[in-house]
A and B are shown apart, each in its own frame.
Chain A
Amino acid sequence: GAVVSQHPSWVICKSGTSVKIECRSLDFQATTMFWYRQFPKQSLMLMATSNEGSKATYEQGVEKDKFLINHASLTLSTLTVTSAHPEDSSFYICSASGRSDTEAFFGQGTRLTVV
């Protein structure tokens, strides 16, 4: 299957700082990338959908000014957690897909810990 690479795999940051997470599709052009947040033993909660060259679509309850998403090319999307707080600590995972009815491939996820 296709490869989606997410970086970093884990990060520890201080409260008030910003953290950028990258999601790259290595061998295909991702028309759409998705960003999820996953709490321990819970489901994948969609945060936002990003389409190359346009603004991301955020799910209800997700602060777009806090979770900045950029999808500048067909192979790269970034999520920036701004002014991070301990409650933002979580597992963030991206996925990428080329079409609406084909497999979405997941990155390996990023474990964010805000101290």
Chain B
Amino acid sequence: GENVEQHPSTLSVQEGDSAVIKCTYSDSASNYFPWYKQELGKRPQLIIDIRSNVGEKKDQRIAVTLNKTAKHFSLHITETQPEDSAVYFCAANSNSGGSNYKLTFGKGTLLTVNP
């Protein structure tokens, strides 16, 4: 089955700096890679996603890159702000039998942005 590895587990940056979180996946058939942000006590919220037919996607201060050959994808946050502090999860889809599929999540990265 799919295996998603995420690094680092914790990341501390100064306000205004950039933050990069990296993930690798194992299933070459995966074609959808979302990133979720989870604030303490709240549900995960999608912040950006990328599909396998593109290599990069950007939305304001957030960007995601995908390298299908190497099976890795990364989240880039520029000009970080204290409100970016949260746990970030990457995920990859995979087939779970027949036409069924599932999302496998990485272990998460606790990002702390220091003012």
Contacts and interface: CB of A to CB of B under 8 A. Distances in A.
Nearest to B52: A101
B109 to A, nearest CB: 10
A34 B32 contact: no
Interface residues of A, number: 24
B100 A49 contact: yes
B43 A101 contact: no
Interface of A: 1, 32, 34, 41-44, 46, 49, 51, 57, 93, 95, 97, 100-109
B11 interface: no
A76 to B, nearest CB: 18
B107 A43 contact: yes
A97 B107 CA distance: 21
Contact of A100 (B42, B93, B107, B110): B93
B51 A101 contact: yes
B89 to A, nearest CB: 7
Nearest to A103: B46
Contacts of B100: 32, 49, 51, 57
B64 to A, nearest CB: 14
Which 9 A-B pairs give the minimum distances between C-beta atoms?
A100-B101, A101-B32, A106-B43, A43-B107, A44-B105, A43-B108, A49-B102, A103-B46, A106-B44
B71 to A, nearest CB: 17
Given A34-B103, A100-B101, 5 more contacts: A44-B105, A46-B102, A51-B100, A101-B32, A102-B32
Nearest to B40: A41
Given A44-B89, A109-B43, A104 B103 contact: yes
A34 B102 CA distance: 8
A32 to B, nearest CB: 7
A114 B105 CA distance: 27
A87 to B, nearest CB: 21
B43 A93 contact: yes
Interface string B29-43: 001101010000011
B34 A57 contact: no
